Amino acid sequence: MCCDGKPFVGKHKADGEHDCVAAGYVAHECKPMAASTVRQLHSIIGSVLNAAVRWEWIESNPAKNAQRPKLRPPDPQPPTPADAARLVEAAFELGEDWGTLV
């Protein structure tokens, strides 16, 4: 979403002048896109431009020169053996089916 500089966003339900703060509207806060969103958009645009090259609409794909954000390595944090045991016990307390599933 592009920032249009407005202090509040959302549908205004009141006609005419009103107080956004009193109406409970949330203040707008601009945030950059997440790296994963940029990577997905780059993939989509690159694929479309590759098709345009195949169809000879353009000479080359300019998206090939763009650098995608680096992919962060996964950081799994599995539960400790004690936490896993408590989880399984709690599942069995809910029923044998849940315990077997977990």
Q: Does residue 5 form part of some domain?
A: no
**pLDDT, tens only, 15-65:** 667 676 777 776 667 778 889 999 999 999 999 999 999 999 999 999 999
* Domain annotation covers residue 59: yes
Q: pTM score, two decimals?
A: 0.51
Assigned domain for 83 exists: no
Q: What residues contact 6, with CB distance under 8 A and at least 6 apart?
A: 28
Tokens of 43: 């993939």
The domain in which residue 61 lies consists of: 21-72
Task: Give residue-wise pLDDT tens across range 66-86.
Answer: 888 888 898 999 999 999 999
In a domain, 8, yes or no: no
Tokens 């592009």 sit on residue: 2
Q: What is the pLDDT of residue 47?
A: 96
- Per the structure, how many domains does the chain have? 1
